[in-house]
Structure 1
Amino acid sequence: MPEPFEPRTDPDVDLHVPTERGELIARPATILATIAAGGVLGALARAGLQHAFPHPPTGFGWATFSINTSGCLLIGALMAVLGHLDGGHRLARPFLGVGVLGGFTTFSAYAVDVQQALVAGAPGTALAYLAATVLGALVAVGLGDAVTAAALRRRVTR
């Protein structure tokens, strides 16, 4: 029988999670600096990819779509790894999850791409991009988590 689904909370921002609350309150500058450092790296990577692969306002935003779906795949894999390691290093999730991958993925560029496609007279492209990104992101995070968790379980049983 499958285990019941338990939604994961984000202890980096949820002060109701007791194990993380003390860290955030005791050393807020450390957590915030860690997130900021990761965010800079993620945002620079995203900006570089978007600059390298531009698209016209009426075109599908392949760079942003790829960034968002690959970022979701990586966050799913990261959560599986951190779960396997009982959370890992206390700064791993703030740096990699919230910082690097949070800075790498982008809802704002996605929203602007959709708006620009609508204004440019390409509602079909806007709708396809809107739906594909949401579905792709959901599938990617689930796939990243499931495949990584399965690989980690298989590795442990050897």
Structure 2
Amino acid sequence: MSWLAVALGGAAGSLLRYAIGLGFPFAGHRFPWSTFAINVAGSFLIGLAWVLIVEKAAGWPEARLWVMTGFLGGFTTFSSFSLEALLLWQNGHASLALGYLLGSLLAGMMAIVLAVWLARQLWL
């Protein structure tokens, strides 16, 4: 049942992300406004979900899997990243939270630069 909750939630989140991307104003602009808005909205929604599902309704694990792992995971992985950083910060690990934030951004950029370079070397 857990796998089904994640799969259905992920499908719904992915479809919503795609639909928003298609209809978002300023889509041709240099700055990726739709992705930015989706990531910020996903961060907001996972914050609400954390409180409402995990802190307030701790007895319903399928809701967490459907909403947080599935739906918001399909909608944006940035929401999970933001929540994890917040939890580190709130649990008294400010330097670890900052390291996680900066390290993730830098590592992500290095990974994509490496991937693009490798792909261009191997397949062009």
Is TM more than 0.5 here?
A: yes
User: How many residues are aligned here?
Assistant: 83
CA RMSD, Structure 1 to Structure 2 (Å): 2.6
Relative distance call for 1:106 and 1:138 in structure 2 (3 A) is closer
| Secondary structure, counterpart of 1:65 in structure 2 | helix
* 1:94 counterpart (65, 85, 89): 65
Question: What is the Cα deviation at residue 33 of structure 1?
Answer: 1.1
**Corresponding residue for residue 18 of structure 2:** 47
Work out the CA distance in 2 between the residues paired with 1:40 and 1:89: 21
| Counterparts of residues 32-71 of structure 1 (less than 5 Å) | 32-53=3-24, 55-56=27-28, 59-71=30-42
Where structure 2 has 5 or more consecutive residues not aligned to the other structure, the ranges are 87-124
* 2:51 counterpart (72, 80, 85): 80
Q: TM-score, normalised by structure 2?
A: 0.57
**Corresponding residue for residue 104 of structure 1:** 75
Counterpart code for 1:55:
A
Counterpart code for 2:17:
R
Q: TM-score, normalised by structure 1?
A: 0.46
Deviations 1:101-140 (A, max 9, x none): 1111156xxxxxxxxxxxxxxxxxxxxxxxxxxxxx849x
Relative distance call for 1:96 and 1:71 in structure 2 (3 A) is same
Where structure 1 has 5 or more consecutive residues not aligned to the other structure, the ranges are 1-29, 108-136, 143-158
Work out the CA distance in 2 between the residues paired with 1:66 and 1:89: 29
Deviations 1:36-74 (A, max 9, x none): 000010000000001112633x61111111101101111
Q: Contact 2:6/2:65 (CA < 8 Å) preserved in 1?
A: yes
| Secondary structure, counterpart of 1:91 in structure 2 | helix
Relative distance call for 1:48 and 1:78 in structure 2 (3 A) is same
Work out the CA distance in 2 between the residues paired with 1:48 and 1:88: 33
Work out the CA distance in 2 between the residues paired with 1:105 and 1:91: 19
Task: Give the structure with higher Rg (CA).
Answer: 1
**Corresponding residue for residue 27 of structure 1:** none
